[in-house]
Structure 1
Amino acid sequence: MKLYLYILLALVVFTLYKCQTHKKTIEVNKELIPDTTNSPVIPAAAAIKLMRVEDGFEVKLVADEPLVVAPVALTFDNKGRIWAVEMVGYMPDVNGKGEDKPNGKIVILEDKNGDGVMDDRKVFLDSLVLPRAICLVDGGILVAESPNLWFYEIKNDQPGRRTLVDGKYADEGNVEHQPNGLLRAMDNWIYNAKSSKRYRRIDDKWIIEDTHFRGQWGISQDNYGRLYYNDNSTNLVGDYFSPGFGATNNNQRNVEGYSERIVKSNRVYPARSTPGVNRGYMPGVLDDSLRLKNFTAACGPVIYRGGLFGPDYDFNAFVAEPTANLIKRNILTEKGYVVSGEQAYSGKEFLASIDERFRPVSLYNGFDGALYVVDMYRGIIQHKTYVTPYLRDKILSRKLTEPLSCGRIYKIVPKNKLASVVKFSNDPKALVELLGNNNGQVRDMAQQMLIDGKYKAAIPFLRAAIQDTSQPLKVIHAMWVLEGLSALQTNEVLALLKAEQWPLRMQALSVLPSVINGTSFRYYMDALAQLLHQNDELAAPYIAYAANYIKPFNADGAQSVVISLVKKYPNNPYVSSAVLSGLAHREDVFANSIAYLLPDTNLNINKQLTALITRVRSAQKNRDPLLQAKLYPKGAALFAFSCQTCHAADGNGVNALAPPLNKSEWVTGNKEKLISIVLYGLTGPVKINGHVYESPEISGDMPGIAHSEEISDDDVAQVLSFIRGSWQNNAGKVSIDEVSKVRKRYKGREKAFTIEELEAK
């Protein structure tokens, strides 16, 4: 035992030493500032002094190394402890060698003396390869370790029995393009970024359902359970409607009201020069002072729901930008269905640091109302697949490779404002009272505890709460708790469908898929018809979504509701999309049924329906994907790893990310141009089949892979041969010699191509 303690002490000292030996700074007037020609490690306390935070706020340290190392995500338990994900193996050097080492961990951090700073560390799981997300649920924890999603039972803070929930949770894409998030949302489902799956545990069985594909890294919800996310070049994206709707027709590529651009401006305002960004060499990426102009690594968005900051911060979205060492604040507003937002400031940020190693990657609401910041505190933040020679030189010259043993968690709070400490008990009545707390994170935890604990004794208190519409947020959470306990009654939902406040009607409409059955559907049909008769246009898209769940019990009745909707709102794009979402494999039949009722082809419903039918017929002409995979196995694998997450499995592109490869003249045309794009990337708008794709419809940049040491000319030739013969493409194969010729021709090139350059060739 004594030997074990000596070894443990030695390891702690070594870790501290390794991080401390890199803390080289220049002392000016007894203040620590970073060397402008270098980027040394700054001690956490001093690093806070290098942060410029909005007036009236301050940054406080919650944990730093060696208590936490390379954190990328966290969650809170009902004891107020932090469960953190440590992705220690991310980019061990500029080439990413050693990423496959099992050195990742899930750790439990605890503040035992109550001073707000974590002082105890307990390893829950170790020997993980690049773990990326966790979620506490039902007495256990979900852990995402690519490609698997595992569920571990928890016994005395130790992992118990392990169950494989999804063996294909993250089986495609590299580290930057794999599912993450595991957000336990208001509707009791677990959602992800960079994924089209949602999860839920019912009667000890894991259920997996399709949902909308959302975002890249990080996911959050607002007070009504609507989801928000983004991709690396986009400030904020989100849904206008509840997350469980609109993903039932695989033929429908885009559903109005989902994956909507919430904040249009992507401008950022770093506090320091940021030459170490992947495309800093390109005109327009950096301004005259060498500061990043627009998001290039937007991630970890959170809708602030803490209640501590004051009313001006309610319904604000905060977004992390680790390459520019800052956190963006956006102010959101809602009008009808539409949620939109503007940046809170011009020329500055909510928080910006002059420490180059400050890497905020995830943001969270805390039980104390603070905004929590997960700082990976790394020199290298770009994954090896896309590192350009320019960035490689910056990493090496600025000595950003090491150390790998740092990491911080901070919280941002208003100055001179005392945060109340919320205690969670196991008393059902007390938990129901917390459903009305001013802090959304507290409300979420109370909801989850009531469901996970199967508190049947809480049902009378929940029934009372659901009737008190003077506290709408408490009503909403109480309704979803009853749903989670399988105790929500038809009369309760019907009463909420008649509520004066729209948010209550919205939630009642959102819960319908869970409560419609062979007995209750008649009552809900009548209620939907009544909303339609009352011209409740806000409810109209929800009525269309709900009709799809009535269909199994009364197909004719559901059809009648939908027909009435399109007759009343033929030009409402959200209603049209909602109707189409319930027409999988019946698009032609429905088109015929409304042809005489709505003959005007310019109506939105007819435009969307025609486009959908055209897409279905086009997809029927696709080649067998398995045949191409047999011909080019390495190409198929590389497509899944590097291309599919943005261009989609069907080659038709993903909204807000990338344009189609299917039937693209850039794919089937000149081989040299195609090879050039894949090797060195493409920036700016691109015209495909007469349509110009540009931001925000797609990301502004496609990264090249010429500088990846892991992708050979043979790999490139295979993936290009694969896409040139897939779907409805029918072009010739690409040879290794053709790839080598292009690589040799542009040897030393760093910048991505533009369409103008390629067309001039």
Structure 2
Amino acid sequence: MRNINLMHCGWGIVLSLGMMSCQQKGQQEDKKVTDSLLMRQQIGPSPVLDAKTALQQMQVEKGMEVQLVAAEPQVMTPVAMTFDEKGRMWVVEMHGYMPDTVGTGEDIPSGKIVILEDTNGDGIPDNRKVFLDSLVLPRAICLIENGLLVAEPPKLWFVENNQDTPGKRTLVDDKYTEGGNVEHQPNGLLRGLDNWIYNAKSDKRYRKQGTKWLKEQTHFRGQWGITQDNYGRLFYNNNSENLLGDFFSPGLGSEHPQQRNVAGYDENIVPDNKVYPIRTNTGVNRGYMKGILDDSLRLANFTAACGPLVYRGHLLGEGYEGNAFVAEPSANLIKRNILTDSGYIVTGHQAYKGHEFLASKDERFRPVSLYDGPDGALYILDMYRGIIQHKTYLTPYLKAEIKARDLSDPLNCGRIYRVVPQGKTVTPVHINTQPDSLFALLDHPNGWIRDKAQQLIIDRHLVQLEPALHQRLLQTDKPLGLIHALWTLEGLQCLQYKEVAPLLRQGNPYIKAQVLTVLPGILHRGNIAAAIADLNAAVPNVFLAPYIAYMLPAVKKLDKVAAGKLEEQLIKTYANDKYVADGVINNAADQETALLKQITDWNPDTTLVIRQRLERVIKDIANRKKARMDDALTKEFPRGNLIFKTVCQTCHGADGDGIQSLAPPLNQSNWVNGDKNKLAAIVLYGLTGPVMVNGKVYKSPEINGDMPGIGNNDEFSDADIAQVISFIRNAWSNKASKVTEADIVKVRQQYKGRQKSFTAEELK
């Protein structure tokens, strides 16, 4: 699983590292590795614990209590979950994930979607029902209308629900996952506040409209798990970064397909990546490397951050509301972060220094996904297993660790826990689905309840609530309920500009931001003049200016002249504001040169932020035009093409230009086009630490700090590795000599017995 990994493909084949020049230094390093392995052998076994015993191994924040909700055989290998209006849990079970260190049987259709129900009202599910089975590595679900979305790579299905039995299947997307491996494929299927369904490790969003499914381009986000706050802003992460997220609403800022790294999206919210386990963590992929473990053999920083949750459940108390919790299965813990709004900018810091919100001494405690519950509790999915690293990147060190301490078993376990205030008894929540009751729930203190009420009103098309919803827009003293009413009307297609215009003139900036976000879907020729007047009046508001910039594409479709004047006003007012600048550039798809001329005619200053950011976009576009993939190349190197798509593309991008927060570019990289032996060495053994690519230094946390090699993966022969290197060295704008199987054999012989990744410094 992509974010469930302990160390993933952080830098990729791009950054080639070559040959060590000092044999003596290599021998010293080998001795250190040997000493380290001997030290770890003294740790002893890691016993399999029953669920109640495992619970006793946990330490949780004072005042909180961890309760067991479900355990095997009631639930096994859970990776994703959602609740329905009856309070039942719909759980995705990924039974096929890593049965052993070589992934034997991963393609067997053993995955399931199960329903766990509490029939006696004691807060603990006592009934298990299999809704779907015979799935291959399922990874996400989403309840909507009369069925559910099910992600089973590479496809996304909508399956109708006929009284808890599967009905008609509709193929929503036959390329939901393109390329990638189990650790690096889309997931999440989060129903956002704006009524679209968003994903992690993906740049697609989905929406059901009548009998049709819409699919649109959005920002690329995260790795495993995705969550939203009370204003619908999305948060996510990758395995080595605590928390990433968006400053603005998710549907904005993606109008320009060639614009990369839009300011305000994929921002590093909590840059502190330290973790504080309460047990040794030698069973991690790079546990032999300096800095991965501290002196007590405990993990020092995130290597498997996943399943983030912005807590909105209310039950834990006011100090926890809006906190971001992050799972770290490799360190057997859950971290708590405190988030703060400063204008539209969101920042965060760890809640504690030196300890965690929840940590376990049980090595097999593998929290992978976190959720708000209908009862307000914080729910935890625990895969409960020894192996959590996928075979694609499994190092010989971790293979040995797994064998020495019998970490391959068990394969049939799994637990669901919840965190509640100490001594708190929670009761099942069944939502009253009568229209008036659902309307009242839009103001509930539990964000999960508010979300579900909005979704049920839309799914059941309760248009009879339209008058009450319109009336609710007048009550600005309770902004959260108003925001849900706004988006419920949008989902029912009953929203009009005359009803939202007054909200642009009230005092709450968060309400104003939601109105601006909803505008593109309700503008038409009959209201565009009034909207333009309101937008122009709001330009001086620094908080709203980026949102107004993101309105430009919608305005331009209806009144190009007015949009031009609004754009000019934004440029002259905010030329050095990167958030507004990127919003303006987002409106300039295929018109970048004209926009640059407009800016330089007004002000020739080359240091203007908007000019510098626009020139970067223009340069990126020019590079991509040169970087067309040659069909003949994929035919010449079929295995290389396949390996690139499954191993490299997920971090470095299909265009080879890298992905923000993940990896640097391969296209036009000095490392890729340089010494083939150095590139072979990095592909075989991996890369760690900072590296300079074409004059820019890439390092953690800007990108992942480690790229595992694939030289120890039995799936790939030396001929395969030669092909993927040759493929990359001749893809896009690259033009370098081919690599042969003999070249790979030679590099292997030179570094025989090596486990440690290279560093760029070594290769100098």
The bucket for the TM-score relative to the shorter chain is over 0.9
1:581 aligned residue: 586
**2:571 is the counterpart of 1:559:** no
Tell me the secondary structure at the aligned position of residue 323 of structure 1. Answer: coil
Q: Give deviations 1:625-662, integer Å, cap 9, x for gaps.
A: 42322222221111111111110111110001000111
Which residue matches 1:330? 337
SS at match of 1:67: coil
Task: Give, in angstroms, the shift of residue 421 of structure 1.
Answer: 5.2
Contact 2:122–2:428 (Cα < 8 Å) also in 1: no
Which SS does the other structure have where 1:551 is aligned?
A: helix
Q: Which residue of 1 aligns with 2:247?
A: 240
Q: Is the 8 A contact 2:121 2:428 kept in 1?
A: no
Partner of residue 705, structure 1: 710
**Partner Cα separation in structure 2 for residue 624 and residue 641 of structure 1:** 17
Superimposed CA distance per residue, residues 463-502 of structure 1 (whole angstroms, 9 cap, x where no aligned partner): 1211111110000000000000000111112122222101
Q: Is the 8 Å Cα contact of residues 50 and 354 (structure 1) preserved in structure 2? A: yes
Write the deviation string for residues 586-642 of structure 1: whole angstroms up to 9, x where unpaired: 100111122121221111111111111122222222244423222222211111111
Superposed counterparts of 1:598-747, under 5 Å = 598-747=603-752
Residue pairs, 1:298-447, within 5 angstroms:
298-417=305-424, 419=426, 422-447=429-454
Determine if contact 2:65/2:420 at 8 Å carries over to the other structure: yes
Tell me: CA distance 1:262–1:631, structure 2 relative to 1, closer, same or farther (3 Å): same
Contact 2:189–2:199 (8 Å) recurs in 1: yes
Deviation of the 1:36 alpha carbon = 5.6
User: Which of the numbers 437, 450, 463 marks the counterpart of 1:456?
Assistant: 463
Letter in 2 for 1:220: T
In the other structure, the counterpart of 1:80 is 87
Which 4+ stretches in 1 moved above 6 angstroms? none
Q: CA deviation at 1:518?
A: 2.8
Deviations 1:193-252 (A, max 9, x none): 000000000011000000000000000000000000000000000000000011121221
Q: Report SS of the residue matched to 2:401.
A: helix
C-alpha displacement at 1:452, in angstroms? 0.3
- Of 499, 504, 512 in structure 2, the residue corresponding to residue 492 of structure 1 is 499
One-letter amino acid of the structure 2 residue matched with residue 726 of structure 1: A
SS of match in other structure, 2:129: strand
8 A contact 1:567–1:598 mirrored in 2: no
Q: Deviations over 1:335-362 (max 9, x none)?
A: 0121011101111000000000000000
Runs (5+) with no aligned partner, structure 2: 1-41
Contact between 1:679 and 1:705, CA under 8 Å: does it hold in 2?
A: yes
Equivalent residue number for residue 98 of structure 1 = 105
User: How far apart in 1 are the matches of 2:578 and 2:630?
Assistant: 33
CA contact (8 A) 1:300 1:319 kept: yes
TM-score computed with the length of structure 2 as normaliser? 0.93
Aligned counterparts of 2:128 and 2:672: Cα–Cα separation in 1:
52
Per the alignment, residue 133 of structure 2 pairs with 126
Report the secondary structure of 2:736's partner residue: coil
| Secondary structure of 1:658's aligned partner | coil
The residue that corresponds to 1:113 in the other structure is 120
Kindly state the Cα deviation for residue 531 of structure 1 after the two structures are TM-superposed.
Answer: 0.7
- State the one-letter code of the partner of 1:258: Y
Cα RMSD over matched residues? 1.1
8 Å CA contact 2:333, 2:356 repeated in 1: yes
In structure 2, C-alpha distance between the alignment counterparts of 1:334 and 1:625, rounded to whole Å: 47
Instruction: Confirm whether residue 217 of structure 1 aligns to residue 212 of structure 2.
Output: no
Shift of 1:435: 0.5
Q: Distance in 2 between matches of 1:217 and 1:330?
A: 18
- Residues 733 and 347 (structure 1), Cα distance of their counterparts in 2 relative to 1, 3 Å cut: same
Asked if 2 retains the 8 angstrom alpha-carbon contact of 1:308 and 1:419, the reply is no
CA distance in 1, matches of 2:201, 2:753: 33
**Any idea what SS the aligned residue of 1:176 has?**
coil
Q: Which residue of 2 aligns with 1:262?
A: 269
Helix, strand or coil for the counterpart of 2:756?
Answer: coil
Q: After superposition, where does 1:186-201 map in structure 2 within 5 Å? A: 186-201=193-208
Letter paired with 1:587: E
Aligned 1:149-228 pairs, distance under 5 A:
149-228=156-235
d(CA) in 2 for partners of 1:418, 1:114: 12
Q: How far apart in 1 are the matches of 2:55 and 2:731?
A: 52
Q: Give the direction of change, closer, same or farther, for the CA distance of 1:438–1:625 in structure 2 (3 Å limit).
A: farther
1:512 alignment partner, SS class: helix
The answer to whether the 8 Å contact 1:635/1:722 transfers is: yes
AA matched with 1:699: N
- Offset at residue 715 of structure 1 (A): 1.3
Contact 2:157 2:170 (C-alpha < 8 Å) held by counterparts: yes
Q: Deviations over 1:726-746 (max 9, x none)?
A: 111111111111112112222
When residues 418 and 527 of structure 1 are mapped into structure 2, their CA distance, relative to the original with a 3 A threshold, is: farther
Pick one of 46, 61, 79 that aligns with 2:53: 46
The SS at the match of 2:70 is strand
C-alpha separation between the residues in 2 aligned to 1:536 and 1:645? Answer: 39
Q: Which residue matches 2:21?
A: none
Tell me the SS of whatever aligns to 1:225.
coil
Structure 1, unpaired ranges of 5+:
1-34
SS where residue 594 of structure 2 aligns?
Answer: helix
Secondary structure, counterpart of 1:752 in structure 2:
coil
Inter-partner Cα distance in structure 2 for 1:54 and 1:546: 44
SS of 2:142's equivalent? strand
Whole-angstrom distance in 1 between the partners of 2:329 and 2:376: 23
Deviations along 1:278-315, one digit per CA (max 9) or x if unpaired, are 00000111011100000000000000101111111122
Output the CA distance in 2 between the equivalents of 1:519 and 1:645.
Answer: 45
Separation in 1, partners of 2:270, 2:632? 42
Q: Deviation per CA, 1:503-558, whole angstroms, max 9, x where unpaired?
A: 100100111121112322222111111111xx111110110111111111111211
Where 1:617 maps in the other structure, the secondary structure is helix
Distance (Å, rounded) in 2 between the aligned partners of 1:580 and 1:448: 34
Q: How far apart in 2 are the matches of 1:288 and 1:563?
A: 58
* Alignment coverage as a number of residue pairs: 723
Counterpart of 1:253 (choices 260, 265, 269) is 260
SS in 1 for 2:511: helix
Give, in whole Å, the separation in 1 of the partners of 2:65 and 2:124: 15
Q: Identical aligned pairs, as a percentage?
A: 57
Amino acid of the structure 2 residue aligned with 1:431: L
Which of 18, 35, 56 matches 2:63?
56
Partner of 1:443: helix, strand, or coil?
Answer: helix
C-alpha contact 2:123 2:426 (8 A) present in aligned 1: no
Cα distance in 2, alignment partners of residues 470 and 188 from structure 1: 24
| SS, match of residue 161 in structure 2 | strand
Q: Aligned residue for 1:17?
A: none
2:3 equivalent in structure 1: none
- Within the alignment, does 1:539 sit opposite 2:544 as a pair? yes
Q: Which amino acid aligns with 2:697?
A: V
Contact 1:379 1:401 in 2 (8 A): yes
Matched, 1:595 2:600: yes
Find the residue that maps to 1:666 and give its secondary structure. Answer: coil
Aligned to 1:14: none
Q: Secondary structure at the match of 2:495?
A: coil
